[in-house]
Amino acid sequence: MTDSNSSDKTLTEDGSLKRSKKKQKKEDAWRPEGPRDPFVMLDSLSEKKQQEIQRALHLFSTGPTLPRTLQQARGHTYRFWDTQPVPRLGDNITTHGPIAEAEVSVREEPFSLPPGFSWDTLDLSSSTVLMELCTLLNENYTEEDDNIVRSSFSPEYLQWALQPPDWLPQWHCGLRVDANKKLVGFIAAVPADVCVYETRRRMVQVKFLCVHKKLRLKRMTPVLIRELNRRVNQQGLRQAVYTAAVVLPTPLSSCRYWHRPLNPRKLMDVNYPGLRLNMNLHRAVKFLRLPEVTKTKGLRPMTLKDVAGTHSLLKTNSSRFQLSSILSLQEVEHWLLPRENVIDTYVVEGDDGILTYVVSFYCSSFRVLNHPVHTDLRAAHLLHVASSATDLTDLMEDALVLAKSRGFDIFSALDVMENKDFLEKLKFSVSDSSLHYYLYNWMCPTISPDKVGLVLPN
C-alpha cells in the first residue's frame, strides 16, 4: 500500500478538517501515482477483467448500504442528514412551512475539501468539460454494478437536463483531484417553480449527485450537498426538491417504477435488470405485441407553435396535484420541445385547433456490457402526460407504439399522477425499485404517489 506517514485529514459534518490516519491511508490508496497502488493495478487490467472483479465485489459486498425501506431506515443513524433542515423520520407532520429560518448572511467562502481536491464550476459550454462530465457519470452513476448495462449520458442529454431557462453556471458544481485535474465528483441544481399543497415557491431541483467509485464512503457527499446549498442560498433560494432510490430523512412521497417492455426479445437477450417476465420468449413476444400504428386522430409530434397550448394544458393539469412544477412558456419549450435522442413529445390537436392531449418521454441510453450482439439499449421515461379526456389508456397505448417506432426497447413510468389507471391495463409490470421524493427545508404532510405531479429527469 502507500506511505502512511503523509499528512492525514478528513472532513467532519460541519465541513472542518479532522485528522484520521486510517481514512488517509484509504485516500492515499486512491491516488494514482504510487506503483503499488491497487487502483493503478486495477486500471492496468482489461475492461473485461475489471468488470469480472467488480461483479465479484458486488456479489460478496458486505459494505454499508443505505436503507431502501422506511423500516430499514428506522435503525440507521444519519450522521449528516440529522444536522440538516429536513423532517425527522417518524415525525407526524401536520403543518406547512420552512424548517430553518433564512440566515441573515450566507457563508462567503466555499466549504473546505480534503488536501488534494478542489472545487471547479463546470463550464458546460466547453465540449471538453461536457465530455468529462459524461465520462464521470457514465462510469460512476449507475448504482448497481450488475455487469449488464451502464448509463450512457450524451452531451446533448446533459445540456438539456442541466441548462433549462435561468440555469446558473455556479450550480454545476464539480470536484477535481489537484494532481491530475480529474473530475471525481459532481452535483447540480436547476431552478424551478414548485407547488407544494397551496404554496408556490421558487426553489431548485438537485440533480446528478455523483462521486467517483474510488472515492466512495469517504463522506464527500455531505460536502458536495453543503457546498451546493451555499451556492443556492447565495441566490436567495432556501428550498430544494430531489429524488433518490435510498431512504433519507424523510420521504415526502414514495413511488414505484413500472416497466413496459417494447422489445422483449432484446431485453430477455441481455437479461435486462429488474425485468419480471415469468414466461418464455415466444409467449412474451405475443403477450406484449403492440399495434403497428396509433389510433388517436390528430396525434402528432409537438412543434414550436404548440408551446402555448401545451403550457395551458399542463397548467390546468398541475392543479390536480399536491406536488407539481409550474412551467413558464420558456420552460415548456425547453423541457418538452422534441430533441433527437433526448426528449419526445406528442400532442393531439382537436378540430378547433385546441390541444387536448400532451405526452412526453425522455430518453435514457444504456451501454450493454459483454454481449455478443447488443451494444446499447434505450429506455423511454414518462415525463408529462396531460389530457382533457378522462381515460388516458388509449392515448398512452399510442405513446407506447410511438416509442417503439422510435427505437426504444422499454418504457418506464412511475406510479405518480393518474398513471395507475393505465399501467396494468397496458402491461407495465411493477419493479422492485422505489423512488423517494424529498424537500429540503420544507415540512408538510406526506403525499400519496397519485398526488405527485412532478417527474424529475436525472
Query: Which residues contribute to the site for ligand COA (CB under 6 A)?
Result: 66, 78-81, 140-141, 143, 209-211, 216-222, 244, 246, 248
Neighbour count for residue 78 (Cβ, 10 Å): 18
**β-strands 17-18, 149-151 pairing:** unpaired
| Interatomic CA distance for residues 376 and 365, integer angstroms | 7
| Interatomic CA distance for residues 107 and 187, integer angstroms | 19
* Residues β-bridged to residue 151: 366
CB of 401 to ligand COA, least distance (A): 31
CB of 205 to ligand COA, least distance (A): 11
| Interatomic CA distance for residues 101 and 237, integer angstroms | 12
Nearer to ligand COA, 39 or 80 (CB): 80
Q: Which three cell numbers stand for residue 350?
A: 382537436
| Interatomic CA distance for residues 299 and 316, integer angstroms | 20
CB of 227 to ligand COA, least distance (A): 13
Burial class (CB in 10 A: 0-12, 13-18, 19+), 102: exposed
Cα 6 to Cα 9, 22, 24, 292, 359: the distances in Å are: 10, 12, 8, 66, 57
Neighbour count for residue 203 (Cβ, 10 Å): 23
The owner of cell 405518480 is 416
CA 214 to chain centre: 21
**Backbone dihedral region for residue 181 (phi beyond 0: left; psi -120 to 50: alpha; all else: beta):** left
CB of 206 to ligand COA, least distance (A): 8
Nearer to ligand COA, 89 or 211 (CB): 211
Nearer to ligand COA, 111 or 357 (CB): 111
Nearer to ligand COA, 209 or 268 (CB): 209
CB of 78 to ligand COA, least distance (A): 3
Nearer to ligand COA, 164 or 249 (CB): 249
Comparing CA positions, the residue from 235, 115, 120 lying closest to residue 175 is 120
Is the Cβ–Cβ distance between 85 and 102 less than 8 Å?
A: no
CB of 216 to ligand COA, least distance (A): 4
CB of 86 to ligand COA, least distance (A): 10
CB of 299 to ligand COA, least distance (A): 34
Nearer to ligand COA, 246 or 369 (CB): 246
Nearer to ligand COA, 210 or 288 (CB): 210
CB of 29 to ligand COA, least distance (A): 15
CB of 225 to ligand COA, least distance (A): 6
Nearer to ligand COA, 35 or 63 (CB): 63
Q: CA-based angle 219:224:230, to the nearest 5?
A: 130
Q: For 221-248, b where at least 16 C-beta lie within 10 A, e where not — what string?
A: bbbbbbbbbbbbbebebbbbbbbeebbb
Nearer to ligand COA, 341 or 458 (CB): 458
Nearer to ligand COA, 219 or 420 (CB): 219
Q: Side-chain half-sphere of 182: how many Cα atoms within 13 Å?
A: 15
| Interatomic CA distance for residues 296 and 345, integer angstroms | 15
